[in-house]
Amino acid sequence: MSVKIIYKLESDHAREVLDYLRDFSRQTGREIEEIDPETREGADFCRVYDIVEYPSIVAIGENGSLVSLWRGRPLPTINEVSFYA
């Protein structure tokens, strides 16, 4: 299972996301993959999983199926997401 966060670096929520990623790494020892929706790969990813609101966090199963999705703010707790990481 993998966890990814989709956000725009040049946005009003970027600082909150970067703080969240730092805290997540410190508390769990794991990383969340970052995806920029303004890149070709990021836009394709957003189309596949129907992501239209940023920031969004997705948990994806081994077979590519969507397991869980958190859209917008406030961001979910680290405990909620760490279960999937």
Mean pLDDT, residues 42-49: 96
- Tell me if the pTM is above 0.75: yes
pLDDT at 19: 97
Per-residue buried b or exposed e for 71-83, using 16+ beta carbons within 10 Å of the residue's own CB: eeeebeeeeebbe
For residue 51, the 8-state DSSP code is: -
Strands 2-6 and 56-60: antiparallel
Whether residue 85 has pLDDT greater than 90 = no
Q: Whose structure tokens read 């703080």? A: 19
Q: How many domains does the chain have?
A: 1
Mean pLDDT, residues 24-39: 96
Q: What residues make up the domain containing 43?
A: 2-82
pLDDT at 61: 95
CATH of the domain at 66: 3.40.30.10
pLDDT bin (cut points 50, 70, 90) of residue 20 is very high
User: What rounded mean pLDDT belongs to the chain?
Assistant: 95
